[in-house]
Amino acid sequence: MVLDVVYNHFGPGDLDLWQFDGWSINDGGGIYFYNDWRAETPWGHNRPDYGRPEVRQYIRDNALMWLHDYRVDGLRMDAIAFVRNVHGEEDPGADLPDGWSLMRWINEEIDQTMPWKITIAEDMRSNSRITDSVATGGQGFNSQWDNSFVYPW
């Protein structure tokens, strides 16, 4: 079984993590979310702050939990383009390097500890670096959701 997981946004704003400690800027989500222009997603202003160590650990632990504890065969990670770029495009001015490195870190650990598991990126931008190995600077996904296949099919 392959499980669909969503790490590109946490929302809506009624989650327990939303303004968890009572602090926020610009009415944003608080310490675990971006509180500036990087918060914007198509699903609201609720992108987790991929640069915060606690957020990175939470997402990593979640991915590994499904694979290890629940023994799913793989993960299909939703809308990865929005983890690596604010607008989900190939726009270097809106890149999220922390999101890119987070996905690479997760895939590297999966490959090292459970190489028989599969990770699929729904990226839809046909960026070859998504499936390039971590060793060569890619994100290390085993497969990429192919826009030219999904819609016609």
Residue pLDDT, tens place only, 54-87: 999 999 999 999 999 999 999 999 999 999 999 9
**148: which 2 tokens?**
């030219």
pLDDT tens string 89-111: 999 999 999 999 999 999 999 99
The pair of three-digit structure tokens given for residue 35, joined into one six-digit string: 């509180």
Statement: residue 115 has pLDDT above 90: yes
| Phi/psi at 94 (5° precision) | -115, 15
* Domain count along the chain: 1
According to DSSP, the β-strands at 143-144 and 44-45 are unpaired
Contact 69, 59 (CB under 8 A): no
pLDDT at 152 exceeding the cut of 90:
no
- Residue 17: count of CB within 10 angstroms of its CB: 17
Range of the domain at 137: 2-150
Domain at 82, CATH number: 3.20.20.80
Helix (H, G, I), strand (E, B) or coil at 129: helix
88: CB partners within 8 A, 6+ apart:
42, 79, 81, 82, 125
Residues β-bridged to residue 3: 75
CA 36 to chain centre: 18
CB of 122 within 8 A of CB of 145? Answer: yes
12 pLDDT tier (thresholds 50, 70, 90): low
pLDDT for res 146? 73
Residue 32 scores a pLDDT above 80: yes
The percent of residues in the chain predicted with pLDDT above 70, rounded, is 93
Contact 44, 117 (CB under 8 A): no
Catalytic residues: 78, 122
Average pLDDT, the chain: 92
Residue 99: CB atoms within 10 A of its CB come to 27
User: pTM score, two decimals?
Assistant: 0.92
Cross-sheet strand order for the sheet of 74-77: 2-5, 74-77, 118-121, 143-144
